[in-house]
Structure formats: C-alpha cells, structure tokens
Amino acid sequence: MRYSGFHVIWEALTGHKGWTPAWRDPAPQSDYDIIIVGGGGHGLATAYYLAKEFQQARIAVLEKGWIGGGNVGRNTTIVRSNYMLPGNEPFYEFSMKLWEGLEQDFNYNAMVSQRGVLNLYHTDAQRDAYTRRGNAMRLYGVDAELLGRDQVRAMYPFLNFDNARFPIKGGLLQRRGGTVRHDAVAWGYARGADQRGVDIIQNCEVTGFRITDGRIAGVETSRGYIGAKKVGVAVAGASSRVMAHAGMRLPIESHVLQAFVSEGLKPLIDGVITYGAGHFYVSQSDKGGLVFGGDIDGYNSYAQRGNLPVVEDVCEGGMSLMPNIGRARLLRMWGGIMDMSMDGSPIIDRTDVDGLYFNGGWCYGGFKATPASGYCFAHLLARDTPHPTATAYRFDRFRKGLMIDEKGMGAQPNLH
Amino acid sequence: MIINHPLLGPRDAQEFTYLGDANLLNRPNPDAPDAAERFYEYLYLRDNPAGLHRELWYHEQGDRSWLVVTRNTLTHEITKVELARDVARAAQAAGESA
C-alpha cells in the first residue's frame, strides 16, 4: 500500500476499513544472507538501504523488544550537520541530505521540519570558535550563518540577552537543521524495509554468536539459532553487552542522558536553540511541549533513568537562558543509554571476526546520523568497503592515535 | 546517589567527580616490551558491564580522596565503598593488580 493524501481522504470517507499493518510479523527463517542485530533507527535504516540501494535480499532485523523502543524513541529529535572536522562533516551533511529527501524516499510522514538550529555564543572567544566552525562548514558546502546580537533578538526576543555573567552576543545558525518526528523515522524505515522483503523479527534477543574458524556462522537467539553469512550489529547503548558475546572489548562506556518535555504551551520557539554557556538545548514540539535536554549524568549506567542533580542543572540552564519558562511544568522526563566512545565519535567498521560488522559509539548524537549511518553501514555490509563519508569511523583509530576529537570529549573528561 | 564515604560517612554523589572503571588503577609497566599495546588497552578499552561495576570517584568537594565504589549499573545501587589507597596498597602487598 502506498500512502498518499488521496488515500487518507478515501479512507476517511469509507470508515477507515482499508488500513493494513505497516509491516508483517514473520517467524524467523533458519538462515539469512544478512542479519542486522538491533531494530532501532540505525538497524532499520541499514536494512532499508541494503534492500533498496544495494539490492540485497534475504535480510532480517532482530530486535530484543519492539522496534523503535530504544534511543530512536528517546532522543530530542534534533537534526543538524554543524560539525567541523574532515572525518565528521561530510558524513553528517550526507545525513542531512538524506533527511531532506527521506519522506518521499520511504513514503512515510516523518514530519521533517527544517526550522533552523541556533547555537548561541556569549563571549568573544566563543564567537571566534563559531566563526571557525561556520567557515569549516561552508568549505564543505554546508549552510552556516553567523548572527549578531540584534539578529538573534529579532528571532527570539524573549531570551535573556543581558544576563550579567553570560550575555548573548549572537549565534551560529544552520537554517537547514531542525527536528524530525523520531518514532516515525523508525516506523517509516521498518515499513520501507518490510515492503522490500526484509523480515523484522521482534521479541528476539541475540544471546550469542556462532563463530567457526574466525568466521561468523550465525546468531543464537531467544527464538533459536539463525544462520547468517553476514551479521551487522547496530545496538548503540548495549554495544558492549552484545559484542562481549563475540569476545570483544570496545572503546565504549555506557552512560545515561536525560531528556524532558514540559506541558503544552502556545507557540513560543519555532526553531532549535542551544545555550552556549550551560548545558541546555530546547525546541518546541508540534503539540506545544518544550522538548529539552542537557548533560549526560556522567557515570556508567544501563538504567535508562538518571538522577536529580542533572535535572536541576538542566533546569537552571533553561532558566538562565529563558526565564519566561519558570512557571511551565515538567510533564515527563526520561533517560536513554548512550554508547560514549573514547573520542566522542562513532564507529562503523568490520571486526576481527570475518562477516561480523559493528555500528555504534554514537554518544548523544545518534539520531541526526540515522539515515547516513544506515546507508554507510549497508554500504559496508554489501560491498565490504567503507562508504566514502565514513572512512574515518574505524576501530583502529584509537590504537593509531587518529582520534576524531570534534570537541575533545568522549566519556571523559566530564565536560558534557 | 549517596556514597557512603569510609571516613566521612554518607555524602551526596554531587560532591564527587567520576573517573571510570577501577582498572585505571592498574597502570601498565611502561618499560614492558608490549607497553604500547598494553597502554592502548588500558586507555581505551572498557569492560563496561551491565551489573556490578568497580569504579573510581574523586571527592573533589570534600576531602579529596579517591574512592573505589562498587555500584550496580542497572539499578545505581552502591554496595561497597573503599579508599582507593587501601585497594592499591592491598594489591601491591599481594603482588597482583587491584
């Protein structure tokens, strides 16, 4: 079934009796050509692009719980490509371009909204750093505008421009950045993959890898053994746990990052704002809730919930940036588990086991990367060579000292 | 989280700075022939367990001692707190890694 405006009207007039499930619920076959472990955004995108762009068949996605139940449903929905380093910027811009055509591509309404991402600066030094970042972005053909104080004031007059300690001096704006309805990304990719023959198998936890003579043979799961020629693991948050089944230790620590939604308010913020002097970033959902977040809690955790000191810190950051939210009530808060890699950048690479591939270490920036991550991982799985935009995301960069230290921080040094 | 400091009693975790896995106490021998490989593993690779985790916390807003805290990463429950000094000395006396 192809979704369209006409289809919605037709169903509305005929009692909505024609809708069918968006994807099947197949039982696992005895073996596949390619198995993707992890039915989150990245895993589903990988399966989708494998089937669509790389003409692969006999693909399965194995998901421990239900698809989209992990970090793809727990983030703050922001997409942007305002990176600086050569290893990063082409990749995130590739992702941005995929976001721009995504809904037409997979025929699903993901509510891609390029409402602009504004990073505020508060000192001369910070302005210089943002000038440099903006110039680096423009060298890669990415849009970036350095705004002065008056231009920011015209956009967001309610911000606390005259804060005695951190006055707002201006901001770096990427107009093509914005937000995307995160659950719909997982659902759209799932539906698109399913239509192309991918088996999406939920409630199927991978409990081990079967490896013979240094080559992957298949995966042990809670629903029995499934053979595979190639296995791709995309389980950010649980990467260390899953790869431990293959005897690997990763350059990753799992940390918890919290996010928050306020009660619904009238339209206030039409873009995304990040505070340059504290850990706070905010946008407003179409339902009116302010969606915001801040730091990781800063200690290893798999608990999917954080502690109150960070809640207080984030709300203090919000109050010092925009005091007008002081009477808004918090509606919900939650935590997601981040793969904090040691240099703050991701990994899309082969492993020491033939036919076993890894995608993870996304820190707290995985959502914006979803399309490119899926595309590049599919490229690696199908052709066994990295996609040109993802050549730097290798395991051995730590051993060789080729870190991609965009901000010079991974799990440490507590600068989040 | 409340960390039950061996010398000062229960203290709020906010007073502390987190460093990571207590294996960081076991710095490899820089003169060993395989020192480069050992330091790579020491610096970058982690067990990152889901469950009990021995980790280093620094009492920055307090007595500036380093602690080895045993904490469950699934529940955040803290089951054991030791002075890192004692852990390191005990390991040294036993002639093994901490």
pLDDT of residue B98: 61
Q: Which of these, A191, A180, A199, A201, lies nearest to A2 by C-alpha position?
A: A191
Chain A closest CA to B86's CA: distance in Å? Answer: 22
Of A241, A249, A399, the CB nearest to B46: A249
CB-closest option in B44, B50, B55 to A342: B44
Inter-chain contact A249–B20, Cβ cutoff 8 Å? no
- Say whether A249 and B45 touch across the interface (CB within 8 A): yes
Chain A residues whose beta carbon lies within 8 Å of the beta carbon of residue B76: 301, 303, 307
Residue A335 CA to residue A310 CA, distance in Å, equals: 11
Q: Which tokens is A164 given?
A: 């005695």
User: For B41, what's the count of Cα atoms within 13 Å in the CB-facing half-sphere?
Assistant: 12
Of B18, B47, B73, which is closest to A249 when you measure between CB atoms? B47
**Per-residue pLDDT band at A416 (split at 50, 70, 90):** low
Torsion of CA B81, A339, A202, A198, to 10 degrees: -160
pLDDT digits (tens, 9 = 90+) for A329-374: 999 999 999 999 999 999 999 999 999 999 999 998 999 999 999 9
Q: Of B48 and A411, which is predicted with more confidence? A: B48
Q: How many Cβ pairs within 8 Å bridge chains A and B?
A: 64
User: Which residues of B are less than 8 Å from A307 in CB distance?
Assistant: 1, 13, 76
pLDDT (average), residues A29-51 = 97
The pLDDT of residue B97 is above 90: no
Q: Which of A252, A300, A309 is closest, CB to CB, to B53? A: A300
The answer to whether the Cβ–Cβ distance between B48 and A414 falls below 8 Å is no
Beta-ladder partners of B71: B53, B78
User: Which two three-digit tokens encode residue A409?
Assistant: 């921080």
- Which pLDDT score is estimated for A235? 97
- Average pLDDT over chain A reads 95
How much is the average pLDDT of A31-37? Answer: 97
Question: What pLDDT score does A315 carry?
Answer: 95
Distance from the A301 Cα atom to the nearest Cα atom in chain B, whole angstroms: 5
Q: Which fold has domain B2-24+34-93?
A: Folate-binding fold (3.30.2270)
Chain A residues touching residue B56 (CB < 8 angstroms)? none
- Residue A330's SS3 state is strand
DSSP code, position B32: S
Q: What is the pLDDT of residue B78?
A: 97
What chain A residue is nearest to B69 in terms of C-alpha separation? Answer: A299
Q: Closest-CA residue in chain B for A342?
A: B44
Q: Which 3 state secondary structure label does DSSP give A161? A: coil
CA distance B18 to B58: 6
Q: What is the mean pLDDT of chain B?
A: 94
User: In what side-by-side order are the strands of the sheet with B17-21?
Assistant: B17-21, B52-58, B66-72, B78-83
Quick one: tokens of A232? 């791709």
Q: Do B50 and A299 touch (CB under 8 A)?
A: no
Identify which of A254, A299, A303 has the shortest CB distance to residue B48: A254
The pLDDT of residue A40 is above 90: yes
Task: Spell out the alpha helix ranges (H) of A245-396.
Answer: 308-321, 370-383
Interface of B with A (CB under 8 A): 1, 12-14, 17-21, 40-41, 43-50, 53, 55, 71, 73-76
**Do you find a cis peptide bond into A413, omega within 30 degrees of 0?**
yes
Q: How far apart are the first and last CA of chain A?
A: 45
CA distance A17 to A20: 9
Contacts of A401 (CB under 8 A, 6+ apart): none
Q: How far is it, in rounded angstroms, from Cα A318 to Cα A312?
A: 10
Q: Express each pLDDT in A188-219 by its tens digit.
A: 999 999 999 999 999 999 999 999 999 999 99
Question: What gap in Å lies between CA A290 and CA A283, rounded to an integer?
Answer: 6
What's the mean pLDDT in B58-82? Answer: 97
Contacts of A411 in chain B (CB under 8 A): 20
What does the pLDDT read at residue B95?
A: 78
| B-chain residue closest to A244, CA distance | B47
ipTM above 0.90, yes or no: yes
Share of chain A above pLDDT 90, in %: 95
Minimal CA–CA distance to A121: which of A277, A341, A318, A350? A277
**Euclidean distance between CA atoms A70 and A355, whole angstroms:** 25
Which residues of chain A does B20 touch, with a Cβ-Cβ cutoff of 8 Å? Answer: 253, 300, 411-412
CA distance to A152, A394, A403, per residue, from A59 (Å): 48, 24, 33
Do A343 and A66 contact (CB within 8 A), yes or no?
Answer: no
> In this model, does residue A406 exceed pLDDT 80?
yes
Query: Which stretches of chain A sit within 8 Å of chain B by CB?
Result: 238, 240-241, 249-254, 298-303, 307, 309, 342, 398-399, 411-412, 414
Condensed to tens digits (0 to 9), the pLDDT of residues A65-114 reads 999 999 999 999 999 999 999 999 999 999 999 999 999 999 999 999 99
d(CA A321, CA B49) in angstroms, rounded, equals 37
pLDDT in tens, A223-233: 999 999 999 99
Are A303 and B41 inside 8 Å of each other by CB? no
Task: Judge: B45–A250 Cβ closer than 8 Å, yes or no.
Answer: yes
pLDDT of residue A410: 80
Summarize the confidence of residues B4-14 as an average pLDDT: 96
pTM score, whole prediction:
0.95
Q: At A223, is the secondary structure helix, strand, or coil?
A: coil
Q: Do B40 and A399 touch (CB under 8 A)?
A: yes
Look up residue A370 and give its amino acid: T
Distance CA A412, CA A298 (A): 8
Mean pLDDT of A122-134: 96
Report the candidate in A286, A79, A270, A280 with the shortest Cα–Cα distance to residue A178. Answer: A79
Which one-letter amino acid corresponds to residue A72? V
- Candidates A254, A302, A404, A416: best to mutate against B (most CBs of B within 10 A) is A302
What residues of chain A lie within 8 A of the CB of B74, using their CB?
A: 302-303
Q: How far apart are CA A380 and CA A36, in angstroms?
A: 13
pLDDT for the residue A407: 80
- Residues of chain A positioned with their CB less than 8 A from the CB of B3: none
